[in-house]
Amino acid sequence: MLIGVPKEIKVHEYRVGLTPMGVHELVSQGHQVLVESFAGMGVGYLDEDYTNAGASVTGSAEELYLNAEMIIKVKEPQPRECKLLSEGQTLFAYLHLAADRQQTDALIKSGCTAIAFETVTSPGGGLPLLAPMSEVAGRMSIQAGAHCLEKAQSGKGVLLGGVPGVPPAKVLVIGGGVVGENAARMALGLGAQVTIVDRSVPRLQQLDAQFGGRLQTLYSTQNNIEAAVLSADLIVGAVLIPGAAAPKLVTRDMVERMKPGTVMVDVAIDQGGCFETSRPTTHQNPIYEVNHVVHYCVANMPGAVARTSTLALQNVTLPYAQALASKGWMNAMWDDPHLANGLNIQRGQVACPGVADAFGMPLIPMEKILSNHKA
């Protein structure tokens, strides 16, 4: 198979879909890889590194999209990239379609087969291709939040860990999944007072045991969330419903009653955000204020630590890329139903329940798609 690796064009996105090591693995299995020039520069890889690994390099994104049978990239294709996709082509990337009607329509129109990293599952019910970026984003949320709490960023002027004789900041983490756990770990490590909210009592028990009682846990109800957000200095939104839009757990009314300088970091912004006042921002312009409450809603947070993120992502995506390249998407999904859960769009049809629900679109069952092609 001829695999294309384009240069990411989203604002301040420096990650790359394959490293030279990944290229070498695919080439050694008989595949061809075409890499867009400078695709790896943001993480320290030169075009020469890719050619030494066996790839061909092109200076034209149009040429890459025209010739590649499968496109491997990191972030969702931007509008001009969607126009380059074609029927019969396979796209393997983060998509987050339930929060992006424009991209959903464009991928449907393209006729491509779009497989989303974030909806591929594991036998245990986890999200193996989302987990490493969730770890990165969870940890970064505390770094970003601590910076935004500085007075120069319109925050309260509170040091996250405090100092002797001065209490630490109160950090509220909404969601006890991978993002929430990593956010809590970082905040606790910096000496903050941390509360984590989740609707799963068993998960709260796990977190309580894991952090040895240093972490305060709270069952997720509207009243509990409201009371907690009004007393917090830093709030991290870490809620995820796989493949679906995030629920709005912090309302505009709550934001209007928060103390000026409170900081909100919405890690769920890729899926639409879990704060009612959230809207996507970029690394170039990461924050804005609503009622003097600072909002940090960067939609590609891990892109800021591009090398760490690229290496961590490739560790988990490469085996799936190898299966798709060697078997084709249909046979790979027949062999692995967890990979099949990654199928979001297939030749103009929506295959992901969360996306269909978000936009009121008809859903074609996975079994029907696979059986039709198998026949």
Q: Pick the catalytic residue: 31, 47, 96, 338?
A: 96
Residue 373 is a catalytic residue:
no
Residue 147 is a catalytic residue:
no
Q: Pick the catalytic residue: 100, 198, 233, 270?
A: 270
**Alpha carbons 79 and 369: distance in angstroms, whole number:** 26
End-to-end CA distance of the chain: 23
Query: Which residue type sits at 279?
Result: R
Which residues fall within 8 angstroms of residue 97, CB to CB, at 6 or more apart? 76, 103, 104, 107, 114, 116, 344, 345, 352, 355, 358
Give the strand order in the sheet containing 343-346: 56-58, 32-36, 2-5, 70-72, 90-93, 113-116, 343-346, 349-350
**Alpha carbons 34 and 325: distance in angstroms, whole number:** 14
**Alpha carbons 98 and 238: distance in angstroms, whole number:** 17
* Catalytic annotation, residues: 96, 270
